[in-house]
Amino acid sequence: MKIVLLPAVCLWLLFAVSGLAQQTPQSLADAEFPSLLGIYKDIHSHPELSGQEERTAALVAKELRAAGCEVTEHLGKYENSKLKAYGVVGVMKNGDGPTVLVRTDMDALPVQEETGLPYASKVITKSDEGKDVHVMHACGHDVHVAAFIGTARALGKLKDQWHGTLVFVAQPAEEIGAGARALLKDGLYDRFGKPNFALGFHDKADVQAGHIAVTEGYTSANVDSVDVTIRGVGGHGAYPHKTKDPIVLAAEIINAWQTIASRQNNPLDPIVITVGSIHGGTKHNIIPDEVKMQITVRTYKSEVREHVLAAIERIAKGIAAAGGIPPERAPVVSVSKDQFCPASYNNPELTKRLVAVWKKSLGNDNVEIIDPTMGGDDFSEYSLSDHSIPAVYFHFGAVEPAKIAEFKQAGKELPTLHSSKFAPVPEPTIRTGVIGMITAVLELMKK
Ligand SMILES: [Zn+2]
Ligand SMILES: [Zn+2]
């Protein structure tokens, strides 16, 4: 019997081995999906704010180790001492060859989830300011982590198809634009090697699941956070002539800032100036001493950025002076250095190369070339300020096609990223993220 069975066993083994050799990004993404879905739901229901990513980082470290990486934890040097270092780096070596950085972000947002999903977050935590806040993965960083783990697992199994060093970076604190800089400041490139290429991805709340969407050149904007204090002279609301009212000045200044885009800027250079927060006063009949504002400023080119930031300060000070505010009470305008996030630039040649690869692996109709946005992502830091490390940051769709059609027909906007009602549809979103990242890596590191 044994003699008869042996050839059959050998034949089976041969099939099994040849089957292994034929593993593809698609087959691996399919095989990993049930486990990645579990990881996704787990992270979704346990979101953590920027600088507090303890649980997520530990999970990622464990998974990267299991995938065959040498893992370093607690990476990151922040300027803000309240943020804890939860950066994780996994290095997967496979002989000589290029070094490629693959990045995911991990943090969630102070949003109360309203998706109604069975695995919706119920988490309430303390913010850096000590306030109780709801927390939600409203930007899809949970889906990024799941796809990132799937990518590491698959590339660990496809070592016969690539060579070089993979540096998997699980980055904390993307939402506050501080994480990437903190990792670089902690010696990311000195300790793990400067990559030849950097790759990042993000889900997209208005693109259908199963699609990859990418932009050539600038893909996201410079983000500046500006704090402005308009100082007046407070007093009784019934005697305005005895005061200098900072609320009226703030109103004039806000409107004048909007003319920077329309009158002081080349219309071919996109800019956005949004006053997201304004606070002043305590009561109906008191003119306060000051009004505080917080502004987000979006630009692409650095010369435009400098021009806009200067105009914001000049206008605030000019209007205050025109309102009779003495020089010593002039507005205080401060541009936050540690919250600056540079514009992301997709290397055009590299983008074209990857688009061809994605069209081959996902189908021509499933790859979209899209317009850039004025959103921001500190993935840009990895390509350095002169874009000398070629980088591509691509999107993968996160919405069922039927839902897109339904909203379009009703003339309604889909929930955007950061909305309490946004959550990616896990399948085929995770699968597309995994395939998109694996095929990009294989193209850059192929044998
Ligand atoms: Zn976000
Ligand atoms: Zn995000």
Q: Which of 184-188, 271-275, 353-357, 385-389 has the lowest mean pLDDT?
A: 385-389
Distance in Å, CA 238 to ligand 1 centroid: 45
Q: Could you give the maximum distance between any two Cα atoms of the chain, in Å?
A: 109
Distance in Å, CA 12 to ligand 2 centroid: 46
Question: Which tens digit of pLDDT belongs to each residue from 234-265?
Answer: 999 999 999 999 999 999 999 999 999 999 99
- Whole-number pLDDT of residue 1: 45
Question: Do the bridges between strand 235-236 and strand 286-287 make them parallel or antiparallel, or are there none, so unpaired?
Answer: antiparallel
Distance in Å, CA 371 to ligand 2 centroid: 17
Distance in Å, CA 201 to ligand 2 centroid: 9
Distance in Å, CA 202 to ligand 1 centroid: 9
Give me the amino acid identity at 10. C
Mean pLDDT in residue range 326-344: 94
Q: How confident is the model at residue 13 (pLDDT cuts 50, 70, 90)?
A: low
Distance in Å, CA 106 to ligand 1 centroid: 10
- The fraction of the chain above a pLDDT of 90, given in percent, is 92
Q: At residue 221, does pLDDT exceed 70? A: yes
Distance in Å, CA 43 to ligand 2 centroid: 15
HSE-CB for 406 with a 13 A CA cutoff: 7
Distance in Å, CA 397 to ligand 2 centroid: 13
Which ligand has an atom closest to residue 395 CA?
2
Record the tokens describing residue 269, joined without a space.
């250079």
Q: At residue 362, does pLDDT exceed 80? A: yes
Which ligand has an atom closest to residue 204 CA?
2
Which ligand has an atom closest to residue 203 CA?
2
Distance in Å, CA 290 to ligand 2 centroid: 34
Which ligand has an atom closest to residue 141 CA?
2
61's CB contacts (< 8 A; 6+ apart) are 71, 73, 88, 90, 170
Total residue count of the chain as it appears in this document: 447
Distance in Å, CA 321 to ligand 2 centroid: 40
Is the CB of residue 46 less than 8 Å from the CB of residue 58?
Answer: no
Give kind and range of the element (H or E) at residue 2: helix 2-21
d(CA 74, CA 86): 5
Question: Which tens digit of pLDDT belongs to each residue from 150-164?
Answer: 999 999 999 999 999
Distance in Å, CA 124 to ligand 1 centroid: 19
Distance in Å, CA 13 to ligand 2 centroid: 45
Distance in Å, CA 347 to ligand 2 centroid: 21
Computed over every residue of the chain, the mean pLDDT equals 94
Give me the amino acid identity at 105. D
Q: At residue 444, does pLDDT exceed 50? A: yes
CA angle 86, 89, 95 (to 5 degrees): 175
Distance in Å, CA 137 to ligand 1 centroid: 9
The CA-atom distances, in angstroms, between 201 and each of 14, 51, 87 are: 38, 20, 17
Distance in Å, CA 26 to ligand 1 centroid: 28
Distance in Å, CA 372 to ligand 1 centroid: 16
Distance in Å, CA 141 to ligand 2 centroid: 6
d(CA 436, CA 150): 11
For 338, phi then psi, to 5°, come to -80, -5
Q: Which residues of 424-444 are buried (b: 16+ CB within 10 A; e: fewer)?
A: bbbebbbbbbbbbbbbbbbbb
Distance in Å, CA 175 to ligand 1 centroid: 5
Which ligand has an atom closest to residue 176 CA?
1
Distance in Å, CA 418 to ligand 1 centroid: 6
- Whole-number pLDDT of residue 337: 86
Q: How confident is the model at residue 303 (pLDDT cuts 50, 70, 90)?
A: very high
Distance in Å, CA 51 to ligand 1 centroid: 14
Question: Which tens digit of pLDDT belongs to each residue from 39-64?
Answer: 999 999 999 999 999 999 999 999 99
* Better pLDDT: 358 or 6: 358
Question: Which tens digit of pLDDT belongs to each residue from 101-142?
Answer: 999 999 999 999 999 999 999 999 999 889 999 999 999 999
Distance in Å, CA 138 to ligand 1 centroid: 7
